Amino acid sequence: MNAKNVLEDLKRRFPNEPEYHQAVEEVLSTIEEEYNKHPEFDKAGLIERLCIPDRIYTFRVTWMDDNGNYQTNTGYRVQHNNAIGPYKGGIRFHSSVNLGILKFLAFEQTFKNSLTTLPMGGAKGGSDFSPRGKSNAEVMRFCQAFMLELHRNIGADCDVPAGDIGVGGREVGYLFGAYKKYTREFSGVLTGKGREFGGSLIRPEATGYGTVYFLRAMLATKGDTIEGKTVLISGAGNVAQYAAEKVLQLGGKVLTMSDSDGYIYDPDGIDREKLDYIMELKNLYRGRIREYAEEYPTAKYVAGQKPWFEKADIALPCATQNELNEEAAKALVANGCIAVCEGANMPTTPEAIRVFQEAKLLYSPGKASNAGGVSVSGLEMSQNSERLSWTAEEVDAKLLWIMENIHENCVKYGTEPDGYVNYVKGANVAGFMKVAKAMMAQGVF
């Protein structure tokens, strides 16, 4: 395999999908050497079969708003690869959603799910519908219309969606209710469900907690801990909130959180009480992060900017893709940042990754450090199959074990001759090998 040629071919065949090209390029450039040690992979055309999704569903979603007007959005499900288990990956509702973004997310998900050690393939779905500013009734009608199409193509042993940006407990509840109504079947077809109807304890916390467990393992390789460290967090949604909670529990100080309009910086730190305020503001009132600075006047609100130019020891990007660019990376390094651990999917641009790696910073890609969410989704599937529920302690212990195991695998496959751990390479090689072996064993389709 020549990674450059494969990428050029994909760009020609699937133009206008820059995020998909970016994700594929990152993986191919790091697995090329390992791949080429196995000539049988190339003979079986493995790389093309792994880069191109198994199938993609695109559908129209028409729903009625509160004024009685009909609105039309586009819905998608990208079923990328099911070599090691049923398709599994979140649903994103955001105005920016398009096919290229979902293809990148489904591709990444395949390697991430492989890293978790659980039997899950990779998928992703969503719509260009944004729940922002919509009433509960509008969100419900949209979810019902979306599921009216999607239900035919998913199932507990076939494809199991979950939440992502814009899809939290409320949306998963409406989607699950609609699936149950259309199919007359109560199954574990979605994860991230409410606790009363099959959801797992610790699922809401899992991505944020897992990211910080991974950060702790990275710091431990340097004999360091989170205690007393200052931390910049972007986002104020599910991942950011629980990353902040775990940082606080482990003795760190959270200085920033953000949303798509800007960020807040609190020099005194966002403590437990202030984090509760953010959780209520975001989850209950669906408010904006700028309101924090009105509630706590010692904090500042910076409109239209990202938090990366503030001084801190650690950065946790937990909002969205490509939110941390080269300029921001240089500022973080100049300000003495020692670790960047991704809670979001692909938040760091390729140029920024190079800055971190050249500076020998501890840097981990989301497919390794944010795998806690899908891991606990996998544990939710197990509990649904058993028709049992496990305690929070049991689930948290399994989550911790999985994150430490992913970290070990990254160190195993990513340690360079000078001892620097290239977590990008480690995660990609470890994730790829398992999927590749499973595909080889199952014949060519």
Q: Is residue 237 involved in binding ligand NDP (CB under 6 A)? A: yes
User: Which range of residues in 6-14, 179-187, 216-224, 343-351 is near ligand NDP by CB under 6 A?
Assistant: 343-351
**Would you count residue 409 as binding ligand NDP (CB under 6 A)?**
no
Identity of the residue, 30 or 345, whose beta carbon is nearer to ligand NDP in the bound complex = 345
Pick 373 or 378: Cβ nearer ligand NDP: 373
344 binds ligand NDP (CB under 6 A): yes
Question: Binding segment for ligand NDP among 44-52, 293-301, 339-347, 396-404 (CB under 6 A)?
Answer: 339-347
Which of 161/439 has CB closer to ligand NDP? 161
Query: Applying CB under 6 A, does 395 fall inside the site for ligand NDP?
Result: no
Q: Does 238 bind ligand NDP (CB under 6 A)?
A: yes
Nearest distance, CB of residue 184 and ligand NDP, angstroms: 29
Judged by beta carbon, residue 295 or residue 416, the one nearer ligand NDP is: 295
Near ligand NDP by CB under 6 A: residue from 3, 154, 232, 236: 236
Q: Which of 75, 85, 199, 343 binds ligand NDP (CB under 6 A)?
A: 343
Query: 167 to each of 144, 150, 160, 174, 360, how far by Cα in Å?
Result: 14, 15, 14, 10, 36
165 contributes a contact to ligand NDP by CB under 6 A: yes
Residue 252 near ligand NDP by CB under 6 A:
no
Q: Which of residues 202-231 bind ligand NDP (CB under 6 A)?
A: 207
Output 224 or 291, the one with its CB closest to ligand NDP. 291
The alpha carbon of residue 242 and the mean position of all alpha carbons in its chain are separated, in whole angstroms, by: 13
**Residues shown for the chain:** 445
332 exposure class (CB count in 10 Å sphere: 0-12, 13-18, 19+): buried
**Pairing outcome for strands 159-162 and 87-93:** parallel
Between the two ends of the chain, the Cα-to-Cα distance in Å is 19
Residues 74-93 that bind ligand NDP (CB under 6 A): none
Whole-angstrom Cα distance, residue 197 to residue 199? 6
Single out the residue of 328, 189, 310, 191 nearest to residue 257, CA to CA: 310
Which of these is catalytic: 124, 246, 398, 425? 124
Minimum distance from residue 262 beta carbon to ligand NDP (Å): 9
Closer residue to ligand NDP in complex, CB, 243/436:
243
Nearer to ligand NDP by Cβ, of 167 and 439: the residue is 167
Q: Which is nearer to ligand NDP, 23 or 439 (CB)?
A: 23
Q: Under a CB-based contact definition with an 8 Å cutoff, are residues 383 and 200 in contact?
A: yes
CB of 127 to ligand NDP, least distance (A): 14
- Least distance CB 315 / ligand NDP (angstroms): 14
Please identify which residue in 163, 198, 199, 431 interacts with ligand NDP, judged by CB under 6 A.
Answer: 163
Per-residue mark of binding to ligand NDP, 297-336 (x: CB under 6 A): ---------------------xxx--x-------------
Among positions 164, 171, 245, 266, the unique one binding ligand NDP when judged by CB under 6 A: 164
Q: For residue 124, indicate whether it is catalytic.
A: yes
Q: What is the CA radius of gyration of the chain?
A: 21
Segment interacting with ligand NDP (CB under 6 A) among 41-49, 144-152, 265-273, 341-349 = 341-349
Sign of the CA dihedral 363, 368, 372, 374? positive
Total residues at the site for ligand NDP (CB under 6 A)? 24
Which of the stretches 36-44, 66-74, 254-262, 266-274 binds ligand NDP when contact is defined by CB under 6 A?
254-262
In whole angstroms, give the CA distance from residue 178 to residue 176.
5
What is the closest distance, in whole angstroms, from the C-beta atom of residue 199 to ligand NDP in the complex? Answer: 13
Ranked by CB distance to ligand NDP, the top (closest) residue is 237
What residues have CB less than 8 Å from 279, skipping those under 6 apart? 241
> Quick one: which of 345, 349, 375, 428 contacts ligand NDP (CB under 6 A)?
345
Binding residues vs ligand NDP (CB under 6 A) = 163-166, 168, 207, 235-240, 259-261, 318-320, 323, 343-345, 370, 373
- Residues forming the active site: 124
